[in-house]
Amino acid sequence: MIAHRANLPRIPPQCQPPQIEVFADMSVASVFPRLEAKLPSVQKPIQYVGGELNSVVKDWDCAASSEAGGPTVRWALMYPDAYEVGLPNQGVQILYEVLNERDWILAERTYSVWPDMEQVMRTGDEQGRIPQFTVDSHRPVGAFDLFGLSFSTELGYTNMLNALDLAGIPLHAVDRGEDDPVVIAGGHAAFNPEPIADFIDAAVLGDGEEVVLAISEVVREWKAEDRPGGRDELLRRLAVTGNIYVPHFYDVAYAPDGVIEAVVPNRPGIPFRVRKHTLMDLDQWPYPANPLVPLAETVHERFSVEIFRGCTRGCRFCQAGMITRPVRERSIKTIGDMVENGIRKSGFEEVGLLSLSSADHTEIGDVAKGLADRYEGSNVSLSLPSTRVDAFNITLANEFSRNGRRSGLTFAPEGGSERMRKVINKMVSEEDLIRTVATAYSHGWRQVKLYFMVGLPTETDEDVLQVADLAKRVIAKGREVTGRNDIRCTVSIGGFVPKPHTPFQWAAQLDHEATDERLRLLREVVRQDKKYARAIGFRYHDGKPGIVEGLLSRGDRRVGRVIEEVWRDGGRFDGWSEHFSYDRWMESADKALAGTGVDVDWYTTRERGYDEVLPWEHLDSGLDKDWLWGDWEDALAAAEGADIEIEDCRWTPCYDCGVCPEMGTEIQVGPTGQTLLPLSVV
């Protein structure tokens, strides 16, 4: 039996971690007494218990005892996946901390429950079903004012519907009453929330740190005024800010051929376009300052520091790079302070310096050396995510492995052939890659991982087969410079999915049969060469999940019917291969889209034209449509041999993507002239 925290022996105040806040008075009852007896019947019960180091449990009416007074605003935050995936998510951790710093806001977390726990909750007890609960105080999610979900992938949509149903919140926004939470979507997938428009009340585009506080202020004011106009008026107040999208206030008209004719506001004062929110001074927001330390094993056992946000490299396939512009760097001093604070407050032994291209930080060399000096001889290790070939240098790599933890290096050429890399604007030559891996192998590395995509626009079988040639050259060069045969190269391949707000948003997606055939050909070519086959690892995903992701990423409101049908048929955890069912999705799509004149192929394998109204055109990421279209045309020209490269605008004149003038922002890069000192060496 797992004890509830209220039944645990009292810890003397001087022994308690100072970051944990616990308030005993709870005016909304915890469901834990009902849950506790059932925990031994489910796998990994620890994930439902809560009480992590640095978690916060507040009084339900925390504003009543605060200096601010007035109404309490209550958030339930969710990453719609299992605890082991959701807890390390930085976005949710940051919002959880930012919100709880205000003494009039209460924020708690909830995650998707596994099927065994879902069965327990639906079966319930003598009091009925056990509702979706938060892990902090096990309060019902349906009792909160706001239910915020962060989507980094569209494959979490069925988990959202399951959480809504378990919470007792009506699935469809139009059916919700004044006492139901306002359901708000955020994260990268929120840049096209149309497929889930029927299920959410609002969506937030862009950075969340400031906007969640602004939303809280609007809710607080509305509650203080005794909720005038009900739920509809609250949503109107959110929508007129121009930064919060309320789908209910927009009508979509379709042409006879199925394309969208227009998306327009259906009431006065609602903006025609909703703008993303951009946080400009990251140094003023050094979060997470109190990182959550999980009780159960999670996918990332480390403390992560985001060293800069945004990317201007211009890779045409990369939605994250496009929608997070402009680049905003954290200063070297802030990075050092965050690392020191995070290690001290969490006890993690690995620190990840994260961004979309971490080696591009203008002071990354000084950051690496300063941190390596400080933690040399300790149990603290430093890591970078996947590194661009043209940003890698051996000095930097050695700094990050100074404590003796030398893991494999990961590079992402993305395209197998030079032609494809020009098409996607990933300007890395084969010679660049061979020279880089030769340097790495000669300095003691034994394993390199290369990441590619299959199904890119204009791609042929030959482009994909060149991946094998590249991997063989990598192995051969490693053996040559080291004189050893224990050299390894892992080739990891993912299917390309066109994403909104990128130059490839108009592209046709490769069907899953063609994707699988190209992967089969590549696998055979690798296996047939006995000289290299055992030295090359081959990891890939088949094409079917990519088709579903493509349906969801570029879908419109009609796709919501498909999502609901899949969920009602048992769809859960679609990002997990053991739970994903392609047949379920296709059968549900046939049923849900019958009579609409559109089907899955219409959303996925069909190329779009410039004049077609895309489902997300009323959502403003700052990128100019004409610039995106011009870049798409440049990609097609590059496929035919044109020598066109869009350079990184951090170091070249502006190429008019539109973000900086449209959003009133600017690129923020160093050098700052600051140093990590006077941090003392551990």
What does 2-38 look like in DSSP terms, one character per residue? PPPGGGSPPPPGGGS-TT-EE----SS--SHHHHHTT
Chain-centroid distance of CA 629 in Å reads 25
What phi and psi, each to the nearest 5 degrees, are found at residue 440?
-65, -50
Helix (H) or strand (E) holding 639: helix 625-639
Q: What is the DSSP string of 37-60?
A: TTGGGSS-GGGGT---BT-EE--T
pLDDT value, residue 680: 52
What phi and psi, each to the nearest 5 degrees, are found at residue 261?
-85, -40
Indicate the residue type of 133.
Answer: F
Residue 280: which of 654, 621, 623, 669 has the closest Cα? 669
407 confidence band (pLDDT: 50, 70, 90): low
Asked if the model's pLDDT at residue 515 lies above 60, the reply is yes
pLDDT value, residue 401: 78
Distance CA 474, CA 491 (A): 11
Tokens of 376: 């040399």
Tokens of 514: 């063609």
Cβ proximity of 656 and 624 under 8 Å:
yes
- Look up tokens 């069907």; give the residue: 511
Between residues 404 and 354, the one the model is more confident about: 354
224 confidence band (pLDDT: 50, 70, 90): very high
Residue 400: which of 412, 410, 413 has the closest Cα? 410
Distance CA 162, CA 553 (A): 20
Asked if the model's pLDDT at residue 68 lies above 80, the reply is no
Distance CA 284, CA 258 (A): 47
676 confidence band (pLDDT: 50, 70, 90): low
- Residue 574 bridge partners (DSSP): none
Distance CA 413, CA 388 (A): 8
Helix (H) or strand (E) holding 217: helix 209-224
Distance CA 130, CA 114 (A): 14
Q: CA distances (Å), 177 to each of 234, 244, 246, 514, in order? A: 12, 20, 16, 47
Distance CA 592, CA 562 (A): 5
Tokens of 98: 């930012």
- Between helices 115-123 and 157-167, what is the axis angle to 10°? 20
User: What percentage of the chain reaches a pLDDT higher than 70?
Assistant: 94
Encode pLDDT of 250-261 as tens digits.
Answer: 999 999 999 999
Tokens of 441: 């192998």
SS3 310: coil
Between residues 16 and 488, the one the model is more confident about: 488
Q: CA distances (Å), 589 to each of 27, 580, 598, in order? A: 44, 15, 10
Indicate the residue type of 295.
Answer: L
Q: What is the DSSP letter of 197?
A: T
Lowest mean pLDDT among 131-135, 524-528, 677-681: 677-681
- Residue 495 bridge partners (DSSP): 454
Fold of 59-272: Rossmann fold (3.40.50)
Q: Strand 488-495 relative to strand 447-454: parallel, antiparallel, unpaired?
A: parallel
Q: Which contacts qualify for 117-123: CB closer than 8 Å, 24 or more apart?
A: 117/42, 117/48, 118/162, 118/166, 118/572, 120/38, 120/41, 120/42, 121/166, 122/166
Residue 351: which of 414, 306, 308 has the closest Cα? 306
675 confidence band (pLDDT: 50, 70, 90): low
Encode pLDDT of 299-342 as tens digits.
Answer: 988 999 999 999 999 999 999 999 999 999 999 999 999 999 99
CA angle (36 as vertex; 35, 39 as ends), nearest 5? 85
Encode pLDDT of 483-511 as tens digits.
Answer: 998 999 999 999 999 999 999 999 999 99
Does residue 678 have a cis bond before it (omega within 30 degrees)? Answer: yes
pLDDT value, residue 581: 97
Encode pLDDT of 639-655 as tens digits.
Answer: 999 988 888 888 888 88
Radius of gyration in angstroms for the set of CA atoms belonging to the chain, rounded to a whole number: 25
Residue 200: which of 216, 217, 184 has the closest Cα? 184
Tokens of 511: 């069907």
Encode pLDDT of 331-346 as tens digits.
Answer: 999 999 999 999 999 9
HEC-encoded secondary structure of 456-489 = CCCCCHHHHHHHHHHHHHHHHHHHHHHCCCCCEE
CB count in 10 Å sphere of residue 540: 19
pLDDT value, residue 596: 95
405 confidence band (pLDDT: 50, 70, 90): low
Asked if the model's pLDDT at residue 549 lies above 60, the reply is yes
Distance CA 296, CA 302 (A): 13
Distance CA 203, CA 199 (A): 11
Distance CA 623, CA 627 (A): 7
